[in-house]
Amino acid sequence: MSDIICTVDVVLLTLKNGALHVALLKRDHPPFEGVLALPGAYVQADEDADTQESAARMLRAKTGIASPYLEQLATFSGRCRDPRGWSLSVAYYALVAEKSLVPAVHPDVTLSAVEQIKDLPFDHRQIVDAAVRRVRDKSAYSSLPVHLCGETFTLPRLQAVYEAVLGEPINKVSFRRKIEELAILERVEGAMETGKAHRPAQLYRLKKHFRQCLSLSDRALNATH
Amino acid sequence: MSDIICTVDVVLLTLKNGALHVALLKRDHPPFEGVLALPGAYVQADEDADTQESAARMLRAKTGIASPYLEQLATFSGRCRDPRGWSLSVAYYALVAEKSLVPAVHPDVTLSAVEQIKDLPFDHRQIVDAAVRRVRDKSAYSSLPVHLCGETFTLPRLQAVYEAVLGEPINKVSFRRKIEELAILERVEGAMETGKAHRPAQLYRLKKHFRQCLSLSDRALNATH
């Protein structure tokens, strides 16, 4: 019906050693066979209700990750980006905790620090850059970074994640007040993190409602006012 | 090559009587022939370098508007949105001054106040709502509303445009300071607006560099700090 190649690509981001990393997979067919690239797939009109479902299906099949926080980034298109012809990729980004991506579970996934990526096939480098910009822009004003934390976490851990994404230290008192205002967290009753050098700390998790949608703040979480 | 219908749709917004209006066109073929809808077209792989070009080409052909501020909004997709089959629309939004859209010049264009739209075919209502949200979100922190002003304008007129988009009055002193900080405007030398009840006011225009890209502010233009 159309001579346009329709695909989805996902920028799957995690924090490793305090730095944003992107998950790359070796391509198992031409073009660029054997080269590390973003996980992607054709949109399947007979299987997928929409492109969000295409992205979720592909991610589950290729990385084993189910139901991450997944948001549409932008659509990249044109006649030059894919040697097979005029193509269009609806790009998504997803945020997951590092432990969801350990190599033992996902032997095919390579984690690359976003600051150190040299080159990627197609326009995947441009897609990664756009995703990282989006995540940094949104993080100061939303619950987005919580999705990098894993299922349960302490408040000091959450603050460290925000600081890593935003690239700057945050005032503890105002950070805690704004996280409180976002009203996204619930205590895990009776659960404390112990065994560290510090005193035991309460564990929190994201309220169910916010696992697939964000809570937005009108004041930056890294501002002191 | 694929059984997916690839289109572009544009939410062309302007300010009329102080309210955001969207340009609608009567569809000249089925489905929904004769019904008002967003201007749209198939992506033409043999003509368009990318979907941004598809959107610009379609807008020029159907409304006569050339080179407006045009930005990708999001991609809407799925098997239910178009009776012809699984379809994907890369949606854009564009901002223009009302005088670019006067009915005398564009007899086919109907301007509808975005707050008063009842129903539109396909998922065009959802696309319009997303565009209006995006414009309101971005306006407080960027030069976006300037594109609603026409080629030259006074600072009071610019402030009135920001106020109309944001839906609230803005403090004049802090607004002028932040517009200055955005560094997007240049005086039209020797040009003053006269003939109104007020004293003559200097005319400004957008610097060339900012006609296709935005200048972003890290402080809201409607905040007093």
**Cα three-residue angle A211-A214-A216, rounded to 5 degrees:** 150
Range with the poorest average pLDDT among A11-25, A41-55, A187-201: A187-201
Report the first-to-last Cα separation within chain B, whole angstroms.
55
Q: Is B11 found in the same domain as B104?
A: yes
Residue B217 lies in a domain: no
Q: Is B162 found in the same domain as B61?
A: no
Residue B13 lies in a domain: yes
Q: Is B119 found in the same domain as B17?
A: yes
Q: What is d(CA A125, CA A37) in angstroms, rounded to the nearest whole number?
A: 9
Give residue A100's pLDDT: 85
B19-48 mean pLDDT: 95
Q: Which of B5, B50, B74 sits opposite A78 (nearest CB)?
A: B50
Chain B residues close to A90, C-beta within 8 Å: 75, 77, 88
Burial (0-12, 13-18, 19+ Cβ within 10 Å), A225: exposed
Comparing CA positions, the residue from A23, A170, A203 lying closest to residue A96 is A23
Secondary structure letter of residue B222 according to DSSP: T
Q: Is A158 found in the same domain as A110?
A: no
Instruction: Report CB contact under 8 Å: A77, B90.
Output: yes
Q: Is A9 found in the same domain as A108?
A: yes
Task: For residue B202, give how far its alpha carbon lies from the nearest alpha carbon of chain A (Å).
Answer: 34
Asked if B49 has any chain A CB less than 8 Å from its own CB, the reply is yes
Residue A219 lies in a domain: no
Asked if B42 has any chain A CB less than 8 Å from its own CB, the reply is yes
Which two structure tokens, joined as six digits, stand for B59?
Answer: 């807008």
Say whether pLDDT at A17 is over 70.
Answer: yes
Q: Model pTM? A: 0.92
Asked if B72 has any chain A CB less than 8 Å from its own CB, the reply is yes
Locate the chain B residue with the closest alpha carbon to A91: B75
Q: Is A192 found in the same domain as A98?
A: no
Other C-beta atoms closer than 10 Å to the C-beta of B69 total 20
Q: Is A21 found in the same domain as A109?
A: yes
CATH at A171: 1.10.10.10
Asked if B130 has any chain A CB less than 8 Å from its own CB, the reply is no
Interface predicted TM-score of the whole assembly (ipTM), two decimals? 0.91
Q: Is A82 found in the same domain as A168?
A: no
Q: Is A32 found in the same domain as A113?
A: yes
Residue A124 lies in a domain: no
Q: Is A30 found in the same domain as A65?
A: yes
- Is the Cα dihedral B187, B189, B193, B199 positive or negative? positive
Give residue A105's pLDDT: 66
Give residue B1's pLDDT: 46
Burial (0-12, 13-18, 19+ Cβ within 10 Å), A8: buried
CATH at B97: 3.90.79.10
Task: For residue B103, give how far its alpha carbon lies from the nearest alpha carbon of chain A (Å).
Answer: 33
Say whether pLDDT at A124 is over 60.
Answer: yes
Question: B120 phi and psi, to 5 degrees?
Answer: -135, 155
Range of the domain at B152: 144-210
Q: pLDDT band at B128, cuts 50/70/90?
A: very high
Please say whether the beta carbons of B95 and B69 come within 8 A: yes
Dump pLDDT digits (tens) for B167-225: 999 999 999 999 999 999 999 988 788 766 677 889 999 999 888 888 887 778 887 76
Give residue A1's pLDDT: 46
Q: Which of A1, A2, A88 sits opposite B51 (nearest CB)?
A: A88
State which H helix or E strand residue B24 sits in.
Answer: strand B19-26
Instruction: Report CB contact under 8 Å: B43, A77.
Output: yes
Other C-beta atoms closer than 10 Å to the C-beta of B17 total 9
Dump pLDDT digits (tens) for A134-182: 999 999 889 999 999 989 999 999 999 999 999 999 999 999 999 999 9
Asked if A49 has any chain B CB less than 8 Å from its own CB, the reply is yes
Task: For residue A138, give how far its alpha carbon lies from the nearest alpha carbon of chain B (Å).
Answer: 12
Dump pLDDT digits (tens) for A61-103: 999 888 889 999 999 999 999 999 999 999 999 999 998 887 6
Q: Which of B2, B79, B86 sits opposite A5 (nearest CB)?
A: B2
Q: Which three-class secondary structure state does DSSP give residue B55?
A: helix
Q: Is B80 found in the same domain as B182?
A: no
Average pLDDT of every residue of chain B: 91
Please state the separation of Cα B150 from the chain's center in Å. Answer: 12
Instruction: Report CB contact under 8 Å: B77, A51.
Output: yes
Task: For residue B56, give how far its alpha carbon lies from the nearest alpha carbon of chain A (Å).
Answer: 14
What are the respective helix, strand and coil percentages of chain B, to the nearest 5?
30, 30, 40
Residue A200 lies in a domain: yes
Q: What is d(CA A202, CA A153) in angstroms, rounded to the nearest whole number?
A: 8
Say whether pLDDT at B137 is over 50.
Answer: yes
Instruction: Report CB contact under 8 Å: B4, A6.
Output: yes
Residue A220 lies in a domain: no
Instruction: Report CB contact under 8 Å: A45, B2.
Output: yes
- Is the Cα dihedral A86, A90, A95, A96 positive or negative? negative
Residue B134 lies in a domain: no
Q: Is A204 found in the same domain as A107?
A: no
Asked if B43 has any chain A CB less than 8 Å from its own CB, the reply is yes
Residue A217 lies in a domain: no
Locate the chain A residue with the closest alpha carbon to B216: A137
Comparing CA positions, the residue from B9, B77, B10 lying closest to residue A92 is B77
Q: What is the DSSP string of A103-158?
A: TTT-TTEEEEEGGG----STTHHHHHHHHHHHHHHHHTTBSGGGGGS-SSB-HHHH
Instruction: Report CB contact under 8 Å: B77, A90.
Output: yes
Asked if B142 has any chain A CB less than 8 Å from its own CB, the reply is no
Instruction: Report CB contact under 8 Å: B85, A45.
Output: yes
Give residue A163's pLDDT: 95
Say how many domains are in chain A: 2
Give residue B107's pLDDT: 77
Q: Which of A49, A50, A79 sits opposite B49 (nearest CB)?
A: A79
Q: What is d(CA B56, CA B34) in angstroms, rounded to the nearest whole number?
A: 23
Locate the chain B residue with the closest alpha carbon to A1: B3
Average pLDDT of every residue of chain A: 91
